[in-house]
Chain A
């Protein structure tokens, strides 16, 4: 287990194929990149070993996905009933059979904040992994009497064991600002909801310590490449040796030349020190015609 922590891609793969124990995987998505592709990828990995029991709890999906072994149309049910149904499709806790169980919840947004944690624990089971999506861009309804209670996202992040924060890889024609303008007007730009997307992956160890990585996930080729943090590959410092033999004339400077160059007083150095507070440095010259009376001519 410890070894997987060193290779982020393997860790992600293990989580997606349900071999790494993680009881509650939270997917945070937005309309610009919904969790659909990630869920498909997870199912793809989990199904590699046959016999995974997939229970789909639907709050906003009309049709039973092909991969689902059981489909619960939860939109019209009360939460307790959903919990019971899910439990009935899962092996009882006393059973020791080691088959994999996956509970997919397509959206947690229509569950009120006050029942959220309760609901998640009602469908949780030691044998099953819960994968639930929460849409980041759906505003929360204000509820009375929940002052100071954490927001739904905060709650879910706190109780989850893995967080998959999904973001789109923007097409070249689109920058983030344009994306936001379009989405604020609820007009989907083209080139979103692609099979390849960005994933901020946070996995909590049993101690509660979190490991975070960023991936580009390609669900077509099932390829996960970690995104290096910018700035690790620093620009190499230029040395005089690098400039040798590049041209027929001399590009490099000798030590002596360099020293001489450093000694040159730069003409505008005074302006670089900001102690003067932006004052105009002005010296009279003999031809200057300065009128004491004219208030507009005062150069200071």
Chain B
């Protein structure tokens, strides 16, 4: 494996992870990151944030030049909201990438969520959550980590309501909206009737996205030199309104000691 050449992560046909074309218009495009329990996505979310801010990723195939981020592009801003990790989890990892803290905001939707919100009506609660994302409309990206947890946390919440009061309003507040979701429960099992809302959720995400980035472990189980595979595939939305299109691809990646290496499959 040592002879295998490392590959740069590219998603669009202009050799970028997040093309400038996504920012040029007034469109609000959505991307879906799906992951499993054994292949968690934090490094990929970081890489997306990094390349959105600086146009390149130093965190993948890491070289030593990650101190060279110029902060000229400070007109851009990333907001990360997570239902599963506290804000420290992200600030620590973004600090490690030497991303200046003025360039991002972390909205902690984990700490005290239940205690603070248990008695609020559903639509009101979701509205309040949206209000916590105060990002500039232009040149911004919102990453939301595991919003599907709301389907379990809020009694009686349906997928349609989740989209209506939370996902859709948020996705219209930024240029690029990234939903990170877990597909663990679909790995080895058939649908159970009680997971209908979860299936609706992820299916709808696929329809709304221009691209899906999926992280999965290898079918053959654990390997020393490979963590899993990253597949880039088109979603249900067209990219006609953009001057770029998605380049489908599949990489193998190795995540070890906080460094990421990408290879072609």
Contacts and interface: CB of A to CB of B under 8 A. Distances in A.
Q: Do A and B come from one complex?
A: yes
B183 A187 contact: yes
A65 B27 CA distance: 10
A191 B247 CA distance: 10
Given A186-B186, A186-B206, A110 B238 contact: no
> A interface, by DSSP: helix, strand, loop or mixed?
loop
A138 B235 contact: no
A190 B207 CA distance: 15
B196 A142 contact: yes
Interface in A164-179: none
Nearest to A29: B236
B204 A186 contact: no
Contacts of B206: 31, 186, 188
Interface string B229-250: 0011111111011000000111
A186 B248 contact: no
Interface stretch (A33-41, A154-162, A280-288): A33-41
Given A40-B238, A193-B235, A193-B236, A187 B200 contact: no
Contacts of B216: 185, 187
Please tell me the size bucket of the interface on B. Answer: 35 or more
A139 B235 contact: no
> B interface, by DSSP: helix, strand, loop or mixed?
mixed
B193 interface: yes
- For B187, B206, B231, the residue with the greatest tally of chain A CB atoms inside 10 Å of its CB is B206
Interface stretch (B47-55, B62-70, B163-171): B163-171
Contacts of B200: 109, 138-139, 141
A137 interface: yes
Nearest to A140: B196
Interface in B90-127: none
Contacts of A135: 203, 207
B172 interface: yes
Contacts of A37: 238
Interface string B195-214: 01101101110111000101
B248 A60 contact: no
Interface of B: 26-30, 34, 158, 160, 163-164, 168, 171-172, 183, 186-187, 190-191, 193, 196-197, 199-200, 202-204, 206-208, 212, 214, 216, 231-238, 240-241, 248-250
28 contacts: A34-B236, A36-B238, A37-B238, A40-B240, A60-B168, A60-B204, A61-B208, A62-B28, A62-B168, A75-B163, A109-B204, A135-B203, A137-B203, A141-B196, A141-B200, A142-B196, A185-B216, A186-B186, A186-B214, A187-B214, A188-B212, A190-B231, A190-B232, A190-B248, A192-B233, A192-B234, A193-B234, A193-B236
Interface of A: 31, 34, 36-37, 40, 60-63, 65-66, 75-76, 107, 109-110, 135, 137-142, 184-193
